Chains A and B, each alone.
Chain A
């Protein structure tokens, strides 16, 4: 059974870089036809797609975040990672990783989510 688990610091200072990793277990990140994505949800608000990556390294980013986002993949560790630079309080959210049946199959397997707070 495929499982995804987010990990990383729960507290990040303003202007610094948020870094999270998603570890995939029970399956290979190198599966064809699937991308791997990051989605976030600010407290009490809706969902926002951040970006998605294929195991080859091909990426798609939310245009509104593109200048600050880098998503990378490490197939040897079955992991993919998110870096979001120059964070502000507006980046405080629950961050989810998910398997992305690109483009139209939806995000069918999700991690449990990890809360990241931006505060000094």
Chain B
């Protein structure tokens, strides 16, 4: 089973700053099968990025995803107040067919 490790656990930044969140896989992941989600307290997760770099419908272009192999990154170019939340990466693996999530990165206001 592929394990996803996200870092840092908590990231403290100010609005307007750039955020870089990391997701590292224990073995190579197909870029086509890597997604990122945002979750705010009391809400369901929201899909941000799929296929490592494709923005989901309605997601602002300040959110971007990149990476390949075992290292993936979610970048938020200029933080807005509504961006402070928990972010999860997720991968699909085919042997056996299953999804796993990272443990999450909390992005908090500094």
Q: Which residues of A contact B (CB under 8 A)?
A: 37, 39, 46-49, 52, 60-63, 96, 98, 101-108, 110-113
Chain B residue nearest to A60 (CB atoms) is B97
- The one of B30, B56, B102 that contacts A106, using a Cβ cutoff of 8 Å: B56
Q: Given A108-B47, A108-B56, A108-B57, 15 more contacts at CB 8 Å?
A: A39-B45, A46-B103, A49-B101, A52-B99, A60-B97, A63-B98, A103-B92, A104-B32, A104-B33, A104-B92, A105-B35, A106-B35, A106-B37, A107-B47, A110-B46
What's the nearest-Cβ distance from chain B to residue A65, in Å?
A: 10
Q: Which residues of B contact A96 (CB under 8 A)?
A: 44-45
Whether A112 contacts B44 by the Cβ 8 Å rule is yes
Q: Indicate whether A103 sits within 8 Å of B94 (C-beta atoms), given known contacts A48-B101, A108-B56.
A: yes
Whether B98 contacts A62 by the Cβ 8 Å rule is yes
What's the nearest-Cβ distance from chain B to residue A51, in Å?
A: 9
Q: Which residues of B contact A (CB under 8 A)?
A: 1, 30, 32-35, 37, 39, 44-47, 49-51, 56-57, 88, 90, 92, 94, 96-104
CA distance A112 to B40 in the complex (A): 12
Q: Which of B1, B37, B45, B99 has the most CB of A within 10 A?
A: B99
Chain A residue nearest to B36 (CB atoms) is A106
Chain B residue nearest to A50 (CB atoms) is B99
Closest 10 CB pairs of A and B: A106-B35, A110-B44, A106-B50, A104-B33, A49-B99, A47-B101, A104-B32, A60-B97, A103-B92, A106-B47
